[in-house]
Structures are given as C-alpha cells and as structure tokens.
Amino acid sequence: MSTISIYESTVPCLSSVIDLQRKVQKEELKFSTETNQFLLYHTLKAVGPFVAQKLVSKLVERGEITWDDNDNWEVERILDYVQEDEKDFYLIKWKGWSNAYNSWEPKENLSCEELLVEFQSNGRKRKFLEIDMDDMPSPKRNRVDEIFHKLAPLKETLSPISLLSLSSPTKSGRQPLFRQFLKKSGKVAKNLTPGMKQLNPRSKFYKQKRVEVKKALKDWENQLNGINTDPSPIFVENDADLEGPPENFEYINDYKAGEGITIPDDPMIGCECEDCLENKKDCCPTWCGSMFAYYKHKRVKVMKGTPIYECNKRCKCGPECPNRVVQLGRKFKLCIFRTKNGRGWGVKTLQRIKKGSFVVEYVGEVITNEEAERRGKHYDAVGRTYLFDLDYNTGDCPFTVDAGYYGNVSHFINHSCDPNLEVYAVWINTLDPRLPRIALFSKRDIAKGEELTFDYMMTGDTTNQAPTLSDVDKSVAAELMKASAVTVSKVTETGDNTESEADTEVDTEGSDAGFSVDSKDDTLQQDSELDELSMNDDLNSDQISVKSTSDVSQSSSPVKSMSPKKMADIAEKEPKQPPLPVSAMGAAPSPAVVESNPQDKLLPKSITDQFRIVCQCGAKNCRRYLF
C-alpha cells in the first residue's frame, strides 16, 4: 500500500470528504497524516459541535481517547432550578459560552459549591432565559477545535468515514456516553440535556429540548425544500421523541452517478404523436416492446413488473402528455415524521392518494456492484439499509442505488410486509436497460395522514414465512456471533415454527413481537420498551435492530443483503411474455424477457450469514424480518 500526500485539496462539503475517502480506499491509497487531519477537522466542522461531541463521546467510551481537560467547563452562573423525579436540576450558564450553550444539569454533575449556595441563598430566584441560537459563531468554532485537538492520538488511524460511522446511537436508556465520561471527571458537557429517559415528556427540560429540536427540524425542512425540485413541498415533524435532523444525509433530486459511472441522458429517438394515448400502438412504450402504462388521468394501469417507458425529451408531446408522469415529479405533499414504534423516521402523505398514482421516485447514488459490496459491509456495521439493486432485466446486479447518504424523501420510507406502495422500473431519457429509474406508485387508495411503505423484499422470500436458516448457516451464525460478540435475535424456523437459538443470551419467550439487537451493547430489547426508548434523544431506527458487524460480506451472491427490493422480484409473479425484438431505440431493454432468477427464491447466502433486522411493520402477514 502506497502513501501519498495531498497538501492542497478543496473540499467544499462533507459529502466530498466522504467521496474523496471512498476514492482513496478504492485505489488502496492512504491519506497522509496531514491530509487525514485536515479532512477530520473539516468533517467535525461540517457536522457541527453538537454532533461532533456525540461522535467523540464514543471514542471516549471505547477508551481510544481521554478527556481530561479541567478548564473548559466552568460554571459562570446558575440561572434556574427545577426538581424532576425528586432530583435537582440546575440551568447553567457556562463561562465563555453564550446562552445558546446553557444546559440543565443534575446537581451531582456540578462542582461549584459556592455558586450553588449563593443561588440557594437567593431563594433560587428564577431568571428569564433568552436562548439565542444564532449567537456566538466563534465558540462553535472553538468547540470544534477543542474536539479536534482531542483526536490527536488517533490522527493516523481515525478516518472521516470511521468517525461518522460512530454516529450509530448508544443504547437507549443510558445517558449519552460523553456525559457519562464527563460526569466521572466532575465536569459536564454543554448542550446536553439530562438523560431524557428519566424525564417526563411534560417536564420543563423535555419541553425546552423539544423547542430546540423543533427549530432544528424546521431549519432542515427549509433546507430540504430549498433543494427539492418536485412540485410539492416536504414537511418534517417529530411528535415522538427528541431526535433532530439526521446527521449524514444530503438531499438530491435525481440519481447521482457514482465513481466511474456515466448515466446517459440522451435518447436516440422520440415520438411524434399528436396524441400519444390515441396513438399508443406506435408510441415510445410499444417501440420498446412494452405497453402504454398510464390511463388518461396519468394513473398506472399496467401490472407491477411491467416496464414503463415514458415519452422522453426528444418526443414532440408536452408535459400534459399522459405518458409523462414520473418525470414530472412528486405531486403529493409528504411529511417525514418520527415513528412511535422504533422504526426511526418514516414518511406519511398529507393528501389522499388514489390507487395507481405516482408517489415518489427512489433516488440515490448509482454505484457498481463491487462498490455496493464494499459499502454493504459498512452499512452492515451500522445496521442500515439503503441499497437497492437495479437488477431488473438480467437477474444480475450491475448497478445498485445507494440512498444512504444521498437521497430524496424516499430515503425515509419504511418497509411493510403489507405495503401501500409498489415499485415500477421506468425508463425516460436514460434508455440503458441496466439503469431504470425506480418509481413508487400507490398500490391502493391511501388516506391522508397514512404512512407510506413499500416491501423491501429483502428476504427474496415472497411467502409470509420468515426465511429459514440451514443448520450449516446456524453454526456459521453462531461462530460469527462469538467472533463479533453480539447477541442475535431468535431465529424461527418456518413451517413447524420451532425455534432455534443461535445464542444462549437470546430471550426464549417466543412471542410474535419482535426483538431487537444492539450490537454495541450486546443487549436485547423488547418491543414493549420501544415507545419509552424512543424518548431518548440518542435513539434512531438504526439502533433498533442490527446485524453482525463481522466481515461476512464475502458472499458470492450478487444480491446484497441490504437491497430494499430486487427488481427481478417485481416481475416474478407476472405472466411471462415471449421475447420481443430489440426496440427501435436500440439500447432499450427487451421488457418481455423478465426472467426471475430461481435462486432469488432461496435465501441469499449473504442474508443467511447476517443477523436479521426484526420487522416492526405490524402487518398481519408480516414476515418478521426485514432480511
């Protein structure tokens, strides 16, 4: 492995840092220490002091760095006091920090006896607190500098990506780790409220934090709408817990071509119809060997699995053409909201949606299969699921859409085994058969306020049963569990419903309710805890269920375990049509040849090798596992 130094680099945003690092990893190069330091600093600045502090707290807990600075957190004044669950909390103004950094602290975190006595002797007078969040840009920078300085021992080993991947949450119910550490050293971190689990949602602390979160979410909503080019706005709402905007997510409107990928955008030919619907037998879909997909009112009429070819930019027709639907963007107002049963964020519609309507496109970064394998390992480690294989036509997976970092509102759509959306492959200006766009249409009428879901179909199993593990797989799983020191959710055999425990730590209740595994804390959580857990400000969906962090992605299966939906599966239930001639457009796929890979019916090896995410969709026909 060679070492290069990059002394001059322009890194305009966090995503570029990640891209740059991926590129370097791919080439098996290594950043020089200076460059790594520069990028780490940039990353800390990009995520901001609050998130940076959270990330660093993980390193503190792992003992990778220490935090022994005693000078930083001097109490300037005590502003307010409240008792919560028979515990005293004080509102602290910190010396050298603006009011934006005031925080509520339990008494045992404070070592300022004199100020406490003075405050108490003043009759614990309440003072009106003005929180000015826009105040003090410079302390923010100082805070980042300070955190950066603490990372010095890891300057050779800690990369920006590994730093960001620490953002998976702590086990809920515990205080943030940073706080725990600082508590030990008699100091407390600013900006962290007391452990939220202890607090009553009606309490003052909780309400104060809620105001902050609400403001942050409003800012994020504005930011999203500033980028969003769909005709309809996006709303953001969190009535469930204190989770703020997601940390590592950048909104995009269209596919972003990954490293080494070009997405062609110039079809060779377009139609000249006066009325495409009238002339449907001689319009784009027919040329491409498929059917006209839409009714006059633009709702989809073809069965799922049928490839859709819309009129493209070479066609004479205008936007009113019934064969232009997905390309006109999302028309329904959608809201990213916090679910109350531990599935993290979800998406609901703020308008009634009729069956067959186009709802939203699934966009992300288009990456190669090899890159998807690589990223899958990283996602596995943090229990995330955003890879969507584009294996519509071939059963192979030449390209994958990764919506993990870059995505639109669909990034937040959860899985259901009884979904209200279904997936269609759509070709518009890119006619490369390997690069369909993924469009989500309503499967039935959807009521205003209803959560939108689609079936990730990650098990490759279209029955209602959970997929089975063979005995061999179980022993592999047991080995992996030992190696990675995680507990694993119980594996239920289908058919006879016998249960097999791959790990003795696993609960034996056998209830239908899902269990969740936290790989970091080796802890099994029961569903009944989830509502309570969701109050914790560190909790997000990724904590709910986690697979092995072991490096088990050496699978020969082309199906990445995290693919939300295999396009081949979409077609699986469709009647097979005879192959059609290659379309007039040359590059277009032969849609009739929609072979489902028989292997897809089996549990992909990579899935058997992994620990499952327990499905919380609540559907009667729930398959119990996301994969």
Ligand X SMILES: C[S@@+](CC[C@H](N)C(=O)[O-])C[C@H]1O[C@@H](n2cnc3c(N)ncnc32)[C@H](O)[C@@H]1O
Residue 414 found at the interface with ligand X (CB under 6 A): yes
Question: Which of helix, strand or coil describes residue 508?
Answer: coil
Q: Of 338 and 605, which CB lies nearer to ligand X in the complex structure? A: 338
Q: Of 346 and 589, which CB lies nearer to ligand X in the complex structure? A: 346
Handedness of CA 564, 570, 572, 578 (dihedral sign): negative
Question: Which of helix, strand or coil describes residue 361?
Answer: strand
Element (H, E) at 236: strand 234-237
- The single residue of 101, 251, 362, 386 carrying the catalytic annotation is 362
Q: Of 143 and 443, which CB lies nearer to ligand X in the complex structure? A: 443
How far, in Å, are 273, 289, 321, 431 from residue 317 at the CA level?
7, 20, 6, 18
Question: Which of helix, strand or coil describes residue 233?
Answer: coil
Concatenated DSSP letters of 101-135: G-EEEEGGG---HHHHHHHHHTT---------TTS
Distance CA 6, CA 18 (A): 15
Residue 75 Cβ, how far from ligand X at the closest point, in Å?
A: 36
Q: Of 312 and 549, which CB lies nearer to ligand X in the complex structure? A: 549
In which residue are the tokens 């709702």 written? 299
Q: Which stretch binds ligand X (CB under 6 A): 132-140, 233-241, 269-277, 541-549?
A: 541-549
Distance CA 360, CA 326 (A): 8
Among 22, 140, 187, 343, binds ligand X (CB under 6 A): 343
Is there a catalytic annotation at residue 456? yes
Is there a catalytic annotation at residue 362? yes
Indicate the pairing of strand 29-30 with strand 2-3: parallel
Among 344, 376, 395, 433, binds ligand X (CB under 6 A): 344
Residue 525 found at the interface with ligand X (CB under 6 A): no
- The single residue of 206, 405, 424, 456 carrying the catalytic annotation is 456
DSSP single-letter state for residue 625: B
Q: Which stretch binds ligand X (CB under 6 A): 58-66, 273-281, 471-479, 537-545?
A: 537-545
Q: Count interface residues toward ligand X (CB under 6 A).
A: 20
Residue 412 found at the interface with ligand X (CB under 6 A): yes
185-224 burial, b at 16+ Cβ within 10 Å, e below that, comes to eebbbbbbbbbbbbbeeebebbebbeebbbebbeebbeeb
Residue 411 Cβ, how far from ligand X at the closest point, in Å?
A: 6
Residue 491 Cβ, how far from ligand X at the closest point, in Å?
A: 17
The residues with which 618 forms a beta bridge, in sequence order, are: none
Concatenated DSSP letters of 559-579: S-TT-S--HHHHHHTSPP---
Residue 237 Cβ, how far from ligand X at the closest point, in Å?
A: 13
Among 38, 206, 345, 454, binds ligand X (CB under 6 A): 345
Residue 16 Cβ, how far from ligand X at the closest point, in Å?
A: 22
Among 616, 623, 625, 627, binds ligand X (CB under 6 A): 616
Binding to ligand X by CB under 6 A, coded x per residue (else -) over 357-386, reads ---------------------------xxx
CA dihedral 579, 585, 586, 592 (to 10 degrees): -20
Residue 542 found at the interface with ligand X (CB under 6 A): yes
Question: Which of helix, strand or coil describes residue 342?
Answer: coil
Q: Of 300 and 613, which CB lies nearer to ligand X in the complex structure? A: 613
The number of angstroms, rounded, from the C-alpha of 625 to the middle of its chain's C-alpha atoms is 17
- Give the count of beta carbons closer than 10 Å to the beta carbon of residue 26: 13
Q: Which stretch binds ligand X (CB under 6 A): 271-279, 310-318, 341-349, 424-432?
A: 341-349
Q: Which stretch binds ligand X (CB under 6 A): 263-271, 286-294, 300-308, 538-546?
A: 538-546
Residue 184: name the closest of 43, 3, 362, 61 by CA.
Answer: 61
Q: Which stretch binds ligand X (CB under 6 A): 3-11, 92-100, 307-315, 413-421?
A: 413-421
Question: Which of helix, strand or coil describes residue 99?
Answer: helix
Q: Is residue 214 a contact partner of residue 239, using CB atoms and an 8 Å limit? A: no
Q: Of 286 and 543, which CB lies nearer to ligand X in the complex structure? A: 543
Q: Of 418 and 493, which CB lies nearer to ligand X in the complex structure? A: 418
Residue 373 Cβ, how far from ligand X at the closest point, in Å?
A: 18
Among 42, 93, 140, 415, binds ligand X (CB under 6 A): 415
Residue 471 Cβ, how far from ligand X at the closest point, in Å?
A: 27
Residues 546 to 565 in contact with ligand X, rule: CB under 6 A:
none
Tokens of 526: 């029961």
Residue 404 Cβ, how far from ligand X at the closest point, in Å?
A: 8
- Give the count of beta carbons closer than 10 Å to the beta carbon of residue 246: 16
Residue 202 Cβ, how far from ligand X at the closest point, in Å?
A: 26
Among 18, 199, 544, 603, binds ligand X (CB under 6 A): 544
- φ/ψ (deg, to 5) at 334: -120, 155
For ligand X, the nearest residue by Cβ is 344
Residue 387 found at the interface with ligand X (CB under 6 A): no
Distance CA 475, CA 482 (A): 11
Q: Is residue 465 a contact partner of residue 495, using CB atoms and an 8 Å limit? A: yes
In which residue are the tokens 């039935």 written? 444
Contact footprint for ligand X (CB under 6 A): 343-346, 384-386, 412, 414-416, 540-542, 544, 613, 615-617, 626
Q: Which residues are catalytic?
A: 362, 456
